[in-house]
Amino acid sequence: MPLIRRIPKRGFRHTPRFKREIVNLESLKSFKPDVVIDPVALKEAGLIQSLASRIKILGDGSVTHALTVKAHGFSKSALEKIAAAGGRTELIL
């Protein structure tokens, strides 16, 4: 039997550096106007599971009032929709 078949095989298991959680703009409608939305507020609202994970806001849905959103990442459409509603976005590093 060839040597390559006799040697035990071990695979590679990729473990991500950090967990990501996705929040859509549609779920941010429940927040009142001119409120700051940060990871703590998202956790209290039940939109994310853990404060240790990174949060990305996606542009699925629409926002009708101004919000200040702090997250680790934003999609282009989410940035445009939040700015069109008169809100602000802040990146958390």
Answer yes or no: are the C-beta atoms of 71 and 58 closer than 8 Å: no
Residues ≥6 apart with Cβ < 8 Å to 49: 21
Ranges of beta strands (E only) in 1-93 are 20-24, 36-37, 54-58, 68-71, 73-74, 88-91
pLDDT in tens, 18-27: 889 999 999 9
Domain boundaries 19-91, corresponding CATH code = 3.100.10.10
pTM above 0.85, yes or no: no
pLDDT in tens, 38-80: 999 999 999 999 999 999 999 999 898 999 999 999 999 999 9
